Structure 1
Amino acid sequence: MQLKRHLPKMHPIIFITVFVLIGLWLQWALNTPNIDQLFFSHSGFLLLGICGAIFANATGAGGGVIFIPAFSALGFTPTEAISTSFLIQCFGMTAGSMTWCHYYFKQHHQDDSWQGFPVMVACCALFSISGFWTSQFASLSAPVSLHVSFSVFSIVLGAIIIINSRKKTTQHSLTSFKNSALRDCMFLSGLSFVGGIITAWLSVGVGEIIVIYLMLRGYCTKLAIATGVVVSAMTVWSATPITLSADSVANVEVLLFAGPGALLGGLIAKRIALFFSVIKLKIFFALWIMLTGLVMIIVA
């Protein structure tokens, strides 16, 4: 009986979604030629998907923070790496966003410090998706190579978080959110639009920007992470007309194994995030993205 109490409870909607996704994956796998050979040559990507989704959904950063350096090291072209990363995140970020939304409705629906969650998610998602598609229609390209862009972006954001983690911030209450809602939504709209453009270039960006802004503004860290995860999920799904098109260069063999791994990682990531303190989450988040940025510069 005691063991049963400690087992994680899964909301029926989450359970059904996971069940359907697993069923679709099994059908896909069984219809894939040479699946037995692929299992031995590509099963390592299952672990990559798990690790990427755990990090992404426990910190609010997109899974590309893990996937892009890994795919670059494997010799993927920038377009192939970004497209594959987007599709894997459709698994992981979706699972993570469902668990964070369930956590919000179950634990913090009446909590003053979380009252801005639905508004910020809607606002950020709208402008992030707009930024992504503006980048596509206007054919905007990164000013420098994928390696350099990713590295600079990661190191700068990591440094900002570390500096901020040393400062004491006052948590926002419902009253303070109402007083600053318009200003925060305006800033978040602009930042999310830019984040959507950066995400189109690097497969990461908008989640990290949202998390950092909300942290700097003194919002609950877990609220910031949840917002970043949900907005990132909506953004990567908005890209599926490109990533699933006939012209897509995404590596479907990698996706076949990394996708289910990301789904599993996304389901357990929230529990890992809740296990650590706010300061530890900030430091871990910052050090990891700085490390990946430095590795990308060295490898380039």
Structure 2
Amino acid sequence: MLALTKHFFTRFPPGIIVAISLLFILWLQWALKTDNFSQLVFSHGGFILLGVIGAIFANSSGAGGGVIFIPAFSALAFSPQEAISTSFLIQCFGMTAGSLTWIHYYRKQHHKNREWHGFVPFVLCCALFSIAGLWFSHINHFTAPVSLHLSFSLFSISLGLVIIFNSLRSINQTRQPTKKHLIIDGLALSGVSFIGGIITAWLSVGVGEIIVIYLMLRGYCTKLSIATGVVVSAITVWSATPITLSEQSLANFEVLLFAGPGALIGGLIAKRIALLFSVTKLKLFFSFWIIFTGSVMLVIN
């Protein structure tokens, strides 16, 4: 067991180990201060698995963990506000771990790769406008035009169909971005991310999926697209913590106590899972899953 643990941690650079260790220490302090922790282990321990599954999917596809958490919480009869706030906070664990592994992958293997030249500017641009969209929605009290169930379902099914169409349309050819491409797509992504930030404020998912789809449709490397969506989603959910951790927050912290560390584990291994599959399989996996979750939400509703 000790040898297995040592092998696991040597697979990650010191920076990631330090960041994950700090998150774990914060969680441990929280757990020790929880009076009924031993009872919660039996009643809420299963949420660890939910966190692992949600983070694996989120960080291997570019979608936010909400595509797993929102249907699960809806099935558990959480209110829309409780489901969204809890999903946001769980993603702070999972998307952070996942984004750190994708950033390490970029720096180690693709830092000088021309296909990945847009990674850093796209992340910075998308994150800025995604945060702006999320807070614009919050400050102006924008709400989804229809219920959470229907909004999530229609959003998921529509995006899934777009990806399937793109995957089957032609043979995948990765774009070699020029300076002109980066400028044009950066400007387009600004608007896309602002809208994605608004949708994320409503559903706890949105900006990551929209970014991934846009970059895929524009012919960029699929793994670059996923990495960009993951990092931007991580930054976006952290920007919402003044809301999700406020006194008015309806987040279920007992669920977070167990789903959070599960998401941390899932986020660490998700990138390795993504690299096992071909570009087309990743696209189809991503699309079929979000169509499935959207359809399940329609049935639940």
**2:139 alignment partner, one of 130, 137, 140:** 137
Q: State how 1:211-290 maps to structure 2 within 5 Å.
A: 211-290=212-291
Q: Paired residue for 1:123?
A: 125
Letter in 2 for 1:125: A
Q: Does 1:191 align with 2:192?
A: yes
Structure 1, unaligned runs of 5 or more: none
Q: Paired residue for 1:46?
A: 48
Once the two structures are superposed, what CA deviation does each residue of 1:9-57 show, in whole Å capped at 9, x if it has no partner?
1110110111111111111111101111100000000000000000000
Tell me the distance in 1 between the aligned counterparts of 2:275 and 2:172.
Answer: 19
Letter in 1 for 2:143: S
Tell me the distance in 1 between the aligned counterparts of 2:118 and 2:293.
Answer: 32
Structure 2, unaligned runs of 5 or more: none
Q: Percent same amino acid at aligned positions?
A: 68
Tell me the distance in 1 between the aligned counterparts of 2:137 and 2:186.
Answer: 22
Once the two structures are superposed, what CA deviation does each residue of 1:75-121 show, in whole Å capped at 9, x if it has no partner?
00000000000000000000000000000000000001001100000
Tell me the distance in 1 between the aligned counterparts of 2:72 and 2:48.
Answer: 13
**2:91 alignment partner, one of 67, 82, 89:** 89
Deviation at 1:200, TM superposition (A): 0.2
Deviation at 1:246, TM superposition (A): 1.1
Compute the RMSD of aligned alpha carbons: 1.4
Deviation at 1:138, TM superposition (A): 1.0
Q: State how 1:23-102 maps to structure 2 within 5 Å.
A: 23-102=25-104
Deviation at 1:170, TM superposition (A): 2.5
Name the SS for the 2:275 alignment partner: helix
Which region of structure 1 is more displaced relative to structure 2, 259-268 or 12-21? 12-21
Runs of 4+ in structure 1 off by over 3 angstroms are none
Q: Does 1:14 align with 2:12?
A: no
How does the TM-score come out when normalised to structure 2? 0.96
Deviation at 1:256, TM superposition (A): 0.1
Letter in 1 for 2:115: S
Tell me the distance in 2 between the aligned counterparts of 1:100 and 1:164.
Answer: 24
Tell me the distance in 2 between the aligned counterparts of 1:84 and 1:123.
Answer: 27
Tell me the distance in 2 between the aligned counterparts of 1:282 and 1:51.
Answer: 18
Deviation at 1:172, TM superposition (A): 1.4
Q: Does 1:172 align with 2:171?
A: no
Deviation at 1:177, TM superposition (A): 3.0
Which region of structure 1 is more displaced relative to structure 2, 202-211 or 27-36? 27-36
Total equivalences in the alignment: 296
Letter in 2 for 1:274: L
Name the SS for the 1:275 alignment partner: coil
Deviation at 1:168, TM superposition (A): 2.3
**Does structure 2 conserve the Cα–Cα contact (< 8 Å) formed by 1:84 and 1:251?**
yes
Tell me the distance in 1 between the aligned counterparts of 2:184 and 2:19.
Answer: 36
How does the TM-score come out when normalised to structure 1? 0.96
Once the two structures are superposed, what CA deviation does each residue of 1:178-212 show, in whole Å capped at 9, x if it has no partner?
12112101110000000000000000000000000
**Does structure 2 conserve the Cα–Cα contact (< 8 Å) formed by 1:151 and 1:297?**
yes
Tell me the distance in 1 between the aligned counterparts of 2:217 and 2:178.
Answer: 14
**Does structure 2 conserve the Cα–Cα contact (< 8 Å) formed by 1:116 and 1:177?**
no
